[in-house]
Structure formats: structure tokens, C-alpha cells
């Protein structure tokens, strides 16, 4: 099953357990997606945002850290990005990214 089907945004969170911060289920899904399904296309020069392609449906996903004030940038978030927004943010060429 494709974890992204029907979704446009995933926002992870952390919880405290036994004195440690633990990833929630959404954070673990995001990590699995970026490790095993999504294909990295580009990143911002500071490295805080990364653009990925889902080869199943060709949607572009942006990985961000919405809680930047937290250690390590906090939990991750993924959201769909339009091609126009991706071209502007990541300075992509006019042709769409294509993965064979």
C-alpha cells in the first residue's frame, strides 16, 4: 500500500517516553518514505528543505522541519508541492523531473 495515497501532507511529532523523545507513527512513516519510496530531486542550499519525487504518482513532496527551534530541527513534515512552487524554490529547469 502506498502510504501517500490520498494525502497531501504528513506532519510528524515527538512524544516524551522514559525521559527520551520518541518519534510518533507519522514520523516513522515519513522516515520510511524518504528512505525507501521517494526519490530525492533537490535540496535548498542550507539543507533544511528537500524536494522528493514519488515515482508511483509523480507528485513532488517537500521535506521540511516545521519546528526548527527544536533540537535537530524537530520532527519532519512532508507536503505536496506544485511544479511551479518547486521550480521557484529549488531553481529547477523548465522540464519536469523524470525517473525511469
Secondary structure of residue 25 in the 3-state scheme = helix
- DSSP character at residue 23: E
Digit-coded pLDDT (tens) for 38-86: 999 999 988 889 999 999 999 999 999 887 655 566 789 999 999 999 9
Q: What is the overall mean pLDDT for the chain?
A: 85
Top-confidence residue, 73 or 24: 24
Domain-wise residue ranges, the chain: 9-90
Residue 51: phi and psi, rounded to 5, are -100, 130
Using CA atoms, how far apart are residues 25 and 76, in angstroms rounded to an integer?
12
Amino acid at each position: 500500500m502506498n502510504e501517500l495515497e490520498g494525502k497531501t501532507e504528513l506532519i510528524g511529532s515527538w512524544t516524551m517516553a522514559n525521559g527520551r523523545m520518541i518519534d510518533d507513527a507519522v514520523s516513522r512513516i515519513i522516515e520510511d518514505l524518504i528512505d525507501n519510496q521517494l526519490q530525492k530531486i533537490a535540496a535548498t542550499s542550507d539543507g533544511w528543505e528537500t524536494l522528493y519525487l514519488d515515482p508511483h504518482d509523480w507528485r513532488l513532496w517537500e521535506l521540511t522541519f516545521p519546528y526548527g527551534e527544536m533540537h535537530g530541527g524537530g520532527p519532519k513534515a512532508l507536503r505536496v508541492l506544485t511544479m511551479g512552487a518547486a521550480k521557484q524554490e529549488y531553481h529547477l529547469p523548465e522540464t519536469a523531473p523524470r525517473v525511469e
